Structure 1
Amino acid sequence: MNNSDTSPIKTAFQPIVNQQCTVLLLGTMPGDRSLRLQQYYGHAGNHFWKLIYTLFGQPLEPDYESRKLFLLEHHIALWDVLESCTCEGSLDSNIKNEVVNDFAAFYHQYPNIGHVFFDSKKAEEFYLRYVKKSEDKIYHLLPSPSRANASKSFDQKLEAWTELLLYTKE
């Protein structure tokens, strides 16, 4: 780590995953609000959970534990590309000193995952830089669900995210 960097060190969450998961959704690193709440996509302005529930035609569940179960019921795993980093604020563009998660061990433990979806260009960028693509996986890039991605409306994001339905369980 660069000793002159005074940004806080951030550590990502454990994955939400089980042996039935066939799809992996990858972000970069939880934002400040998510880290405080200890919840993936904890910021109310982030469209992630609304996108997931809308895809399956269900009302958004407020309970976080229920949300995690909802993902698993549809064979969707959730994780971040980075295990830790330094970052001032929540923007991916501020990430420094990144350490990537151990994807070799993860894929070995969860061999049914065949589709990897990045929920931002930055998540894809870090993955390609440190992990590289595997021939036994198919990779997809989705528009970021973040409210910082104001170039796309919710409906435009939803249209792109419908690709998930091709590889998940209804």
Structure 2
Amino acid sequence: MTRKSAFAPFAFPDTRVLILGSLPGEASLKAARYYAHPQNQFWRLVGGMIGREELASLDYEDRLSALITAGIGVWDVLASAVRPGSLDAAIREAEHAPLTELIATLPQLRAVAFNGATAARIGRKLLADAPVELVDLPSSSPAYAAMPLAEKRRRWLELREFLS
């Protein structure tokens, strides 16, 4: 089985909120883009959070520009893992991302948000001593259907306080 690797971190010195997933899924890896699966709600949730409801319909580069303007960075808690398919439950032989090293390069960082339970479980251990707020979010993944989109949106909107 082949090892899958995360993308490079999308973060910059003005990042105020860093959103961490677990590891890119098949659609994202194939497209070489964060949150590329058309049913993933990430871009809709972030768009609502930053007041850019149209974010999901923009070209990928324009989405990234909107994240920069809003002070949002994106990465994953895992650098690589063996995983058939895209489900977090299938992750094996995980290698953690160097999160503390990245955070040390982000002087404006106010919060790290974990996109889903797997990201939170791993990330909270790695960042237990981080000098920022740690926020657990419901997963934007289409595989997490237990929570209605309206409730996911409400929870994601709570990140706005860290962006101002």
> TM-score, normalised on structure 2?
0.93
C-alpha deviation, 1:90, in angstroms: 0.1
Structure 1 stretches (4+) deviating beyond 4 angstroms? none
> TM-score, normalised on structure 1?
0.90
Equivalent in 81, 85, 94 of residue 77 of structure 2: 81
Equivalent in 62, 87, 90 of residue 86 of structure 2: 90
Report which of the two structures shows the higher radius of gyration computed on alpha carbons. 1
Q: Distance in 2 between matches of 1:102 and 1:54?
A: 29
Q: Distance in 2 between matches of 1:42 and 1:163?
A: 24
- Paired residue secondary structure (2:101): helix
C-alpha deviation, 1:135, in angstroms: 4.6
Residue 167, structure 1, aligned to residue 155, structure 2: no
Residue 50, structure 1, aligned to residue 44, structure 2: yes
More deviation in 118-127 or 31-40? 118-127
C-alpha deviation, 1:15, in angstroms: 1.1
The one-letter amino acid paired with 1:24 is L
Aligned to 2:101: 105
Extract unaligned runs of 5+ from structure 2.
Answer: none
Q: Distance in 1 between matches of 2:37 and 2:58?
A: 12
Extract unaligned runs of 5+ from structure 1.
Answer: 1-6
The one-letter amino acid paired with 2:27 is R
Identity rate, percent: 31
RMSD over aligned CA atoms reads 1.3
The one-letter amino acid paired with 1:44 is P
The one-letter amino acid paired with 1:104 is T
Q: Distance in 2 between matches of 1:116 and 1:135?
A: 9
- Paired residue secondary structure (1:140): strand
Aligned to 1:10: 4
Given that 2:17 and 2:112 are in contact with CA atoms closer than 8 Å, whether structure 1 keeps it comes out as yes
The one-letter amino acid paired with 2:68 is L
Aligned to 1:149: 144
Aligned to 2:113: 117
C-alpha deviation, 1:128, in angstroms: 3.2
How many pairs align? 162
Equivalent in 29, 32, 44 of residue 35 of structure 1: 29
